[in-house]
Structure 1
Amino acid sequence: MFRIFLSLFLTVSFAASLAAQDIFLTPYQALTHDAPIKMVAMAFSAGGKYLSVVDGKGTISIWDVADRSMVKQWSVDEKVLYTSFTEQDNKFVAVTTGGAIYQYAVGNFDRVRTAKVLARLVLANLDPSRQTLVLYTRDNNLELFDLKANLTHANIRVPATVKNPMFVGYDRFGQQLFMITEQGSVLSWNPITQRFLRELTLQSGEYTGSRSVLHAAAMNSPGDRFVVGLQEVFIPKGGMQGRNQPERRNMILSYDWLTGNENKRVPMRYRVDEMSFAPGAGHVACISKDAMSVWTVNLEKAEITSTVSLPGTPSVLAISENGEYLAVGLHKGAVQLYYIERNTPAEIRINTPGLDRSYASQVVYTDKAAVEGMIEGNERITKVYINDKEATLDGNRHFSGEAELLPGKNKVRITAENTEARTTARDFYITYEPRTATAGKTHVSGNVKVSQKKVALVMGNASYQYTNKLNNTVNDADGMAATLSELGFDVIKITDGTYEQMKNAIYAFGDRVQDVDVSVFYYAGHGLEVDGANYLVPVDADIQSALDVRQKTIPLTGVLRTMEVTNHEGLNMIILDACRNNPFPTGKRGGAGLAKVNAPSGTIIAYATDPGSVASDGAGAHGLYTGELIKQMKLSQRIEDVFMNTRNRVEELSKGSQRPWEEARLKGVFYLK
């Protein structure tokens, strides 16, 4: 017996909140241009390997960032409005103001496709799946252009009352399209049905009778927060008498997308003309055409964290998706590249004794324990103490010393002191048990556990209303929830979730995983792939076409974006326990199941079966893969070994018909137990 069984998502992040860090810029490279022509558009590839630079005459230059060399340069003889890398960095797209859409193969950057929109273009952007361009035309239309089909598949008429749009973008699921105008109006539509949803008005409201004008806007990658650069103009006290001129106040305002409520404001000296979200949900970088500087701003602290002078007036800004590089294009043709550095607070890593990464527990049989470790981060540490006794600290931030122990449970505190006498501490526990002989055996007590903050969202869908029901997916969700609870997780569980229930649960989960040590997302149920994008299927989804998939299911990109910021510095594990055939009507697009997702740095992606195969429903209460995975999660072993042993056991039990596999780019060693 077999089943269509989608996704187990396991995401683990260590408590290193980017919101608590500041970021700053260090010079990397200046890219020169043949002529002093204004830079108008830039884009990094997703992995940060390439940077596209476009000047005001339509010349496109592709640079290899690491090699600091130009890969290719060509001209489209028309002003370029927008560029981006698509399809997991396999394609590069350029959009011109005249409506031309060019697609190029990444590598040799030869043109592979050309299309033409019969209108002048003002704004452009990509949806989260990087498959659909949204194009705002001069005649007040929003065109949705499918890059794979190479044609426009939908149009949205923008009301004539909407004036001066300056930004278009999507929410994290790609199921809401929004537009921001210079006057502070935010309008949204459903891009699948083209139905108008709502309108918000953004105002500073600080001065009575003032007029607010937006000059820049940006959306964070999870799609739940947007920021605007606002200039408020108001009449000074005493009115416009004598030499009095209108006064201006510049600021950055941060808004919650769901509610439209303002949550942060940051006063700025200069008008903000362009901005982009830096690593983490709470950082933006911005430029002003009135100043030769680039700023980084911590939105959570509502303060500017760094100011870097530029050799000329800036015109355009870009940040790599991996958060490593920032590029500023100048009016006179050069491009300044910077590393994005994080002012990471000191973090104490203990190497000895060999603590369990999840619980920090140890049993020893002597009254002294050797302690050694490292101080991570770039905060300047001058002294380290082990239970108030100064330890040895070398120039490489390595510390060592001893902890004296009493019989029983002992708390050991490591304290790191910085140049300002501020301290960071980490506690762990050692149980000292003097050896005692009992019937010729050495007595050993149980481990002492120290809990971490861990949150999990578990979903299992079985009772589908419009397609075949699944036998064990709810059992799998129950089993995974119980296992995670045993491992110390605060578990949220949803079974047989409708579209709204699943979507709301993901939003709520995104709110709860801030500043946690470990976060887990688990899904068991039907899944589909359409045009390279993966979707989780709610129980109330009536799927008859590819359009239904986009409208009635949960895009996997939405889940990934929800967790992306929180897990930027942590370890991410994504496990897709999915069969690769389509449970919905034949002849409909969706074909052979889930698409491959590349593993970014610090991530392991595990698949329950290879493409074209079927995941077994199992002979017992659980599906074959999840049943074996749960068993391995309960053992104390490296996370790589959890997956390797699960894979070997599944292949053995299925006699080779189901072959799990993994992609890993881990930064360190991790134990679930």
Structure 2
Amino acid sequence: MFRILLSVTLILNLAASLVAQDIFLTPYQALTRDTPIKVVAMTFSMAGKYLAVVDEKGTVSIWDVADRSLVKQWSADEKVLYTSFTEQDNKFVVVTAGGAIYQYTTGNFDRVRTAKVPAKLVLVNLDPSRQTLVLYTRDNNLELFDLKANLTHANIRVPATVRNPMFVGYDRFGQQLFMITEQGSVLSWNPITQKFLRELTLQSGDYTGSRSVLHAAAMNSLGDRFVVGLQEVFIPKGGMQGRNQPERRNMILSYDWLTGNETKRVPMRYRVDEMSFAPGAGHVAYISKDVSAVWTVNLEKAEITSTVSLPGTPSALAISGNGEYLAVGLQKGAVQLYYIERNTPAEIKINTPGLDRSYASQVVDTDKAAVEGTIEGNERITKVYINDKEATLDGDRHFTGAADLLPGKNKVRITAESTEAKTTTKDFYITYEPRATVAGRAGVTGKVKVSQKKVALVIGNASYQYTNKLNNTVNDANGMAATLSELGFDVLKITDGTYEQMKNAIYAFGDRVQDVDVSVFYYAGHGLEVDGANYLVPVDADIQSALDVRQKTIPLTGVLRTVEVTNHEGLNMIILDACRNNPFPTGKRGGAGLAKVNAPSGMIIAYATDPGSVASDGAGAHGLYTGELIKQMKVSQRIEDVFMNTRNHVEELSKGSQRPWEEARLKGVFYLR
């Protein structure tokens, strides 16, 4: 049995040569057991609640990370190749080398489904929708296994010339499947049509006559970048004379998946045996089975950001989907858990007076305003000033004080001073109006804009080539783009977008949305649901079957992943006026509207109508939903009230036939104006 020991003996060794570190690791806990058996695989649930640990004997152990308790343990009776949590962490999947596929419910982890593929398996992975397993078999096939249908729905024959595959994965939209070999070949296929797409060759090229061998590979959560751990072997100067041995150079290479171009290389001292993307697209963690340590690497800076000693030789690595935890499995059976910390500069958060990310919340009628807030980040702060008057600062980085005000608009500056004499400032504005003035303007409040980064992607499709055209979607997109521009958004607009245009626009949006205050993705056009997944339909999509949907449309999961990963601190809005009608042919699998999707943290997903229903295309210049939404966005109110008032007005105007709905997990109070 496992028992939990707090990791009090771990030593955190940060790389001494580095000054700035973007992320680093701090010990959390250690999981050990009486019978040491090598850990071969681990996976976290997406929310980081559970950790699944697999040893080389095929024993699966499920741990509750927060409670530090063993939830369940069982034997798969053979080698386990892969485990994963699916269906928004409600299901758990185990795949064995012998071809068995087991599905369990989370919570009690009772087995609910079993399947068996005839071939022995070598590699396994899951598509972005977390519905399809890709299985690479010993007889050189790629099988695509549908977890909901519990059967294989497609096969791809891998050329016999392909040797030693080591990794399989998908792009962001699940519409390209790729394989990486130890010799550096990268092959890709369309998983819908099973057609071969292209082949790349990854080589270091630093030394003439060298041979490159890949030992590890990983794909970032956006599906647009992959990294490999490469070892280059070459003949030393002077040749193989005397006692000379071949020399080796280790490195991490980063590639852009769309172009196949190398984007960064980072020299490493030790061979990279396993790695995983850490929070954001620019960090990886890796282990070498020759050294008792784990490293984090900043790919953009091409440098190691931290090194942590381990109490044994590592054998497996995993990072939680929420980016909070890192786990290292050891050859002697223990598991070391760490918090992933961000070494971020100080950031001032104002709690009082009530502000959203960039606005003062009210006009005040007194000449002194209470100010209270916190300092976030890792910098050590010694003093905080409010308009040059020192505030009270406690040990929890919480400060309080007051600002003296003059009649009219007042700028209030908060200054935080660190031990290194660095200063961080934040300005906001409060309007002081004496009581008599305020009484004459009863009900008037002020929202004074400071600095806010806001970007939007607006898509409106109307002129469909293979199905009925829509009347107002382009008008809706134009109106929404104009409204967002008036609100200070940097807007990218696409009308009548083809598949390639929409996909490229989403990629570009992902590049622009990093660390903004507010992002908006708006789509008006045909949208449909197939097997619980939502798809946005380009104007050039000829849809005759469910396979056409997966091949020729844009899965909503790709959009969600784009904004969730790249902008996890700001407000992200997904607005879908995409249920006008269903162009899916009669008798095919497909819902009349869009399916419900749980919103990730910091996001609001708004739908023109409720699941399974159809939205009105409108009798005027705009569709009913977008027309009302534009009106509400021009009113100074909380973002929740924007959508609530839109919903109420649409239901009233449609006499209840159209009922908009939202899924929201906001982190604070936000205003658009």
Higher mean alpha-carbon deviation, 387-396 vs 16-25, is at 16-25
Contact 1:3/1:617 (8 A) holds in 2: no
Partner of 2:478: 478
Higher mean alpha-carbon deviation, 578-587 vs 164-173, is at 578-587
Contact 1:99/1:117 (8 A) holds in 2: yes
Alpha-carbon shift at residue 573 of structure 1 (Å): 3.0
Question: Alignment partner of 2:142: what SS?
Answer: strand
Alpha-carbon shift at residue 237 of structure 1 (Å): 2.5
Higher mean alpha-carbon deviation, 524-533 vs 97-106, is at 97-106
Alpha-carbon shift at residue 368 of structure 1 (Å): 6.6
Contact 2:6/2:29 (8 A) holds in 1: no
Alpha-carbon shift at residue 670 of structure 1 (Å): 1.3
Structure 2 CA distance for aligned equivalents of residues 309 and 445 of structure 1:
56
Higher mean alpha-carbon deviation, 640-649 vs 192-201, is at 640-649
Contact 1:222/1:563 (8 A) holds in 2: no
Contact 1:58/1:75 (8 A) holds in 2: yes
Contact 2:348/2:374 (8 A) holds in 1: yes
Contact 2:525/2:577 (8 A) holds in 1: no
Q: Report the CA distance shift for 1:130/1:18 in structure 2 as closer, same or farther (over 3 A).
A: farther
Contact 2:386/2:414 (8 A) holds in 1: yes
Contact 1:386/1:402 (8 A) holds in 2: yes
Task: Name the % identity.
Answer: 90
CA deviation map 1:100-159 (0-9, x unaligned) = 222222233222222222222111101111111111112222111122222222221222
Structure 2 CA distance for aligned equivalents of residues 333 and 549 of structure 1:
45
Q: Report the CA distance shift for 1:371/1:520 in structure 2 as closer, same or farther (over 3 A).
A: same
Question: Alignment partner of 2:4: what SS?
Answer: coil
Higher mean alpha-carbon deviation, 409-418 vs 296-305, is at 409-418
CA deviation map 1:442-470 (0-9, x unaligned) = 99999754342221110011111222222
Question: Alignment partner of 1:356: what SS?
Answer: coil
Higher mean alpha-carbon deviation, 273-282 vs 208-217, is at 208-217
Alpha-carbon shift at residue 660 of structure 1 (Å): 2.6
Structure 2 CA distance for aligned equivalents of residues 9 and 56 of structure 1:
26
CA deviation map 1:383-422 (0-9, x unaligned) = 2234555444333323345556778766544332212112
Higher mean alpha-carbon deviation, 658-667 vs 218-227, is at 658-667
Alpha-carbon shift at residue 212 of structure 1 (Å): 1.5
Q: Report the CA distance shift for 1:13/1:551 in structure 2 as closer, same or farther (over 3 A).
A: farther
Alpha-carbon shift at residue 296 of structure 1 (Å): 1.6
Q: Report the CA distance shift for 1:206/1:519 in structure 2 as closer, same or farther (over 3 A).
A: same
Listed as ranges, the gaps of 5+ residues in structure 1 are none
Which 4+ residue blocks in structure 1 deviate beyond 6 angstroms?
Answer: 1-21, 361-368, 404-409, 431-447
CA deviation map 1:531-573 (0-9, x unaligned) = 2211100111111100110111011111122222212223333
Higher mean alpha-carbon deviation, 443-452 vs 291-300, is at 443-452
Question: Alignment partner of 1:62: what SS?
Answer: strand
Residue 663, structure 1, aligned to residue 659, structure 2? no
Alpha-carbon shift at residue 33 of structure 1 (Å): 3.3
Alpha-carbon shift at residue 593 of structure 1 (Å): 3.0
Alpha-carbon shift at residue 233 of structure 1 (Å): 1.7
Alpha-carbon shift at residue 651 of structure 1 (Å): 2.2
Alpha-carbon shift at residue 487 of structure 1 (Å): 0.6
Alpha-carbon shift at residue 575 of structure 1 (Å): 3.5
CA deviation map 1:446-497 (0-9, x unaligned) = 9754342221110011111222222221121111111100110011111111
Partner of 1:539: 539
Q: Report the CA distance shift for 1:546/1:522 in structure 2 as closer, same or farther (over 3 A).
A: same
Alpha-carbon shift at residue 605 of structure 1 (Å): 2.9
Contact 1:7/1:576 (8 A) holds in 2: no
Higher mean alpha-carbon deviation, 486-495 vs 295-304, is at 295-304
Q: Report the CA distance shift for 1:476/1:606 in structure 2 as closer, same or farther (over 3 A).
A: same
Listed as ranges, the gaps of 5+ residues in structure 2 are none
Structure 1 CA distance for aligned equivalents of residues 7 and 452 of structure 2:
26
Contact 1:533/1:595 (8 A) holds in 2: yes
Alpha-carbon shift at residue 581 of structure 1 (Å): 6.2
Contact 1:16/1:569 (8 A) holds in 2: no
Structure 1 CA distance for aligned equivalents of residues 11 and 285 of structure 2:
28
Q: Report the CA distance shift for 1:21/1:453 in structure 2 as closer, same or farther (over 3 A).
A: farther
CA deviation map 1:425-447 (0-9, x unaligned) = 22335567899989988999997
Alpha-carbon shift at residue 217 of structure 1 (Å): 0.6
TM-score by length of 1: 0.91
Alpha-carbon shift at residue 170 of structure 1 (Å): 0.4
Higher mean alpha-carbon deviation, 83-92 vs 3-12, is at 3-12
Q: Report the CA distance shift for 1:15/1:31 in structure 2 as closer, same or farther (over 3 A).
A: closer
Higher mean alpha-carbon deviation, 340-349 vs 485-494, is at 340-349
Alpha-carbon shift at residue 526 of structure 1 (Å): 0.8
Alpha-carbon shift at residue 382 of structure 1 (Å): 1.3
Alpha-carbon shift at residue 263 of structure 1 (Å): 1.8
Contact 2:525/2:579 (8 A) holds in 1: no
Structure 2 CA distance for aligned equivalents of residues 64 and 445 of structure 1:
47
Alpha-carbon shift at residue 244 of structure 1 (Å): 2.2
Structure 2 CA distance for aligned equivalents of residues 475 and 20 of structure 1:
49
Q: Report the CA distance shift for 1:184/1:362 in structure 2 as closer, same or farther (over 3 A).
A: same
Alpha-carbon shift at residue 587 of structure 1 (Å): 0.6
Higher mean alpha-carbon deviation, 310-319 vs 15-24, is at 15-24
CA deviation map 1:486-530 (0-9, x unaligned) = 110011111111111111111111122224332211111111111
Contact 2:5/2:32 (8 A) holds in 1: no
Higher mean alpha-carbon deviation, 536-545 vs 262-271, is at 262-271
Q: Report the CA distance shift for 1:10/1:280 in structure 2 as closer, same or farther (over 3 A).
A: farther
Q: Report the CA distance shift for 1:546/1:447 in structure 2 as closer, same or farther (over 3 A).
A: closer
Structure 1 CA distance for aligned equivalents of residues 40 and 5 of structure 2:
46
Alpha-carbon shift at residue 616 of structure 1 (Å): 2.4
Alignment of 1:171-570 (within 5 A): 171-355=171-355, 357-359=357-359, 371-401=371-401, 411-429=411-429, 449-570=449-570
Structure 1 CA distance for aligned equivalents of residues 13 and 437 of structure 2:
42
Alpha-carbon shift at residue 168 of structure 1 (Å): 0.5
Partner of 2:601: 601
Q: How many residues align?
A: 673
Higher mean alpha-carbon deviation, 608-617 vs 3-12, is at 3-12
RMSD of Structure 2 on Structure 1 (CA): 7.7
Question: Alignment partner of 2:647: what SS?
Answer: helix
Q: Report the CA distance shift for 1:439/1:194 in structure 2 as closer, same or farther (over 3 A).
A: closer
Question: Alignment partner of 1:651: what SS?
Answer: helix
Q: Report the CA distance shift for 1:8/1:258 in structure 2 as closer, same or farther (over 3 A).
A: farther
Question: Alignment partner of 1:565: what SS?
Answer: helix
Structure 2 CA distance for aligned equivalents of residues 126 and 321 of structure 1:
14
Question: Alignment partner of 1:568: what SS?
Answer: coil
Structure 2 CA distance for aligned equivalents of residues 6 and 624 of structure 1:
58
Q: Report the CA distance shift for 1:251/1:17 in structure 2 as closer, same or farther (over 3 A).
A: closer
TM-score by length of 2: 0.91
Q: Report the CA distance shift for 1:19/1:456 in structure 2 as closer, same or farther (over 3 A).
A: farther
